[in-house]
Structure 1
């Protein structure tokens, strides 16, 4: 059994202790470190083998958004952003910085555990319907502001990456961006679920993104689909 190595980044000791206690009951999860700010999180991830970082947003020295950007750009782990505030601007900033998920601190223990396991497995933390709603709004905001999306790829490079996909992979990506699960994709495209999983893994590698959240952003950014479609 593969062990998921988790780093906790929060400036409140009681919060870190609580998360560590909740996660320690799982045989496949190990808390390998606890830090108090974003700078320490980035440094720890650079020096240790970490799979998932549970990252608070508001911390001293360096906030969680900046730390997430440093960690994900270096490919040093997948980040779940934690916050006590259900604010969409945090979610937008988290996605922009390369986070793989977003979770409120008052989430139930089973939701926290499921989030860690899902992100470690390469899945989006957000429920499909929430992912679509958030990413669509995010895409509109990026379009209105003229900012780059999380892939940070020039438009020409995006088109090259998009063209590297087979027609079937484009169909899978477009359907995935509308919130369909693997099982639903299989039913819609008349494929075996194992075949869908293979297509998803292949297209993630080709478009150079870490997980389904970033793949959905890519689908909008590249023009494969448009907000509201």
Structure 2
């Protein structure tokens, strides 16, 4: 069964281009093309869609606000597809429940792999985005920090690996534990922080803030 995708972008060239690209892969079925965030929200309310691929800057409603609405009214997983210039939106999108944050200049294969990962429950944020979080949000004069007393040594180690972009499998290999054990630790960390997914753990670890 194909992964259903809705594409929202006010640029017709990008919108149609992504449609053509994703339609070449048997894993996907593009079910709608819309021009703004409100149209994306309305479609997700009325139709079962696996992934909403959202531009950030759109008229009527932007991708960050649309992400919040989509998460509230549906089971659709929002993924932001954006440009370098939109990095100020990263935390807003993550806070609102985005499951992925990708740059438009990615190779089609990388976008494909990322969407498949999101569909299967893995949140995706590119290393360059994590770097921007470090640069723009960590105040060098007052370094934010997490409350280490809330976590065990193992949990802190796993959080550090997540912040570096390691997958569960890679963490398991480095720590010589099973993937199931890693998943259990992550669940515990999410419960302690009231976060929703591992991407938010990375932001929390890097900035000391819960978004």
2-side partners of 1:137 and 1:212: how far apart? Answer: 20
1-side partners of 2:108 and 2:17: how far apart? Answer: 10
Instruction: Kindly state the Cα deviation for residue 174 of structure 1 after the two structures are TM-superposed.
Output: 4.2
TM-score by length of 2: 0.76
Q: How do residues 87-106 of structure 1 correspond to structure 2 at under 5 angstroms?
A: 87-106=86-105
TM-score by length of 1: 0.71
Conservation of the 8 A alpha-carbon contact between 1:186 and 1:196: yes
2-side partners of 1:131 and 1:83: how far apart? Answer: 11
Instruction: Kindly state the Cα deviation for residue 37 of structure 1 after the two structures are TM-superposed.
Output: 0.9
2-side partners of 1:69 and 1:104: how far apart? Answer: 20
Question: How large is the RMSD of aligned CA atoms in angstroms?
Answer: 3.3
Are residues 1:7 and 2:6 paired? yes
1-side partners of 2:203 and 2:2: how far apart? Answer: 29
Which stretches in structure 2 are left out of the alignment for 5+ residues? Answer: none
Question: Match of 2:78?
Answer: 79
Distance 1:33 1:210, change over 3 A: farther
Instruction: Kindly state the Cα deviation for residue 195 of structure 1 after the two structures are TM-superposed.
Output: 3.1
Instruction: Kindly state the Cα deviation for residue 89 of structure 1 after the two structures are TM-superposed.
Output: 1.1
Instruction: Kindly state the Cα deviation for residue 54 of structure 1 after the two structures are TM-superposed.
Output: 0.8
Q: Deviations over 1:138-162 (max 9, x none)?
A: 6537xx8xxxxxxxxxxxxxx9xx9
Paired positions, count: 205
Which stretch shifts more, 109-118 or 213-222?
Answer: 213-222
Question: Match of 2:162?
Answer: 176
1:61 partner SS: coil
Conservation of the 8 A alpha-carbon contact between 2:3 and 2:27: yes
Q: How do residues 1-229 of structure 1 correspond to structure 2 at under 5 angstroms?
A: 2-74=1-73, 76-127=75-126, 129-130=127-128, 132-137=130-135, 139-140=137-138, 168-169=154-155, 171-200=157-186, 203-204=189-190, 209-219=195-205
Instruction: Kindly state the Cα deviation for residue 65 of structure 1 after the two structures are TM-superposed.
Output: 1.8
Conservation of the 8 A alpha-carbon contact between 1:10 and 1:55: yes
1-side partners of 2:2 and 2:61: how far apart? Answer: 29
2-side partners of 1:48 and 1:60: how far apart? Answer: 22
Distance 1:138 1:209, change over 3 A: farther
2-side partners of 1:115 and 1:188: how far apart? Answer: 23
